[in-house]
Amino acid sequence: MKAGTNTVSLLLDVGRIIRTRMERELPLSFSQCETLRLLEQGKNTTMHAIAAHFKIAAPSATAIVNELVRAHLVARAENAKDRREVLLHLTRNGKKLLHSVETKRKKVVAGVLSILPERDKKQLDAILGKILSGAETR
């Protein structure tokens, strides 16, 4: 086995386990939950921004958003500066559901990591923080 192959497999497998458990616990798909989080983080979020975030085609992003709009979790608004552009924002129901989703996500991850002693959890946080910081600057 090549160096790093085990790390790759381990990271992907842990991510798969967490995602599978989250999807079992959450009322929305992973993509829908991530869309709600993205909308909470940004002002004037567009369909293009969602497609770019997920690295998917615009029609796929539209399908995700359409389901959230039908569920009254997301609302569309016309951009006053560019009427061709549609701005998206969370509704009150979307914000409440997102808070519930975040609570459940933390519970799922805490369950997966519960086998680790506190010292190891802190080390893992530090390591993942370094990886994230390094990846975001590249």
Assign residue 57 the CATH number of its domain.
Answer: 1.10.10.10
- 5 inside domain: no
- 11 inside domain: no
Structural domain total, the chain: 1
Which CA distances in Å does 58 have to 10, 49, 125? Answer: 32, 9, 34
**pTM for this model (two decimals):** 0.77
- 78 inside domain: yes
Residues spanned by the domain of 90? 19-111
Neighbours of 45 (CB within 10 A): 21
- 42 inside domain: yes
Residues 75-134: pLDDT tens digits? 998 888 887 788 999 999 999 999 999 999 999 999 999 999 999 999 999 999 999 888
Listed in sequence order, the residues at least 6 apart from 25 whose beta carbon sits closer than 8 Å to its beta carbon are 104, 107, 108
> Per the structure block, which two tokens stand in for 100?
């519930």
- 138 inside domain: no
